[in-house]
Amino acid sequence: AQSVTQLDSQVPVFEEAPVELRCNYSSSVSVYLFWYVQYPNQGLQLLLKYLSGSTLVESINGFEAEFNKSQTSFHLRKPSVHISDTAEYFCAAEGSQGNLIFGKGTKLSVKP
Amino acid sequence: DTEVTQTPKHLVMGMTNKKSLKCEQHMGHRAMYWYKQKAKKPPELMFVYSYEKLSINESVPSRFSPECPNSSLLNLHLHALQPEDSALYLCASSQPTGGTYEQYFGPGTRLTVT
Cβ atoms of A84 and A62 closer than 8 Å: no
| Calpha distance B33→B35 (Å, rounded) | 7
pLDDT digits (tens, 9 = 90+) for B13-66: 998 889 999 999 998 899 999 999 999 899 999 999 989 999 888 889 999 999
Closest CA–CA distance from residue A111 to any residue of chain B (Å): 20
- Write the single-letter amino acid at B1: D
Which A residues 33-92 touch B at CB under 8 Å?
A: 34, 36, 41-46, 49, 51, 90
DSSP β-bridge partners for residue A78: A19
Closest CA–CA distance from residue B102 to any residue of chain A (Å): 8
Per-residue pLDDT of chain A (112 residues; tens, 9 = 90+): 778 999 999 999 999 999 999 999 987 767 789 999 999 888 899 999 998 888 899 888 899 999 999 999 999 999 999 999 999 999 999 887 778 889 999 999 999 9
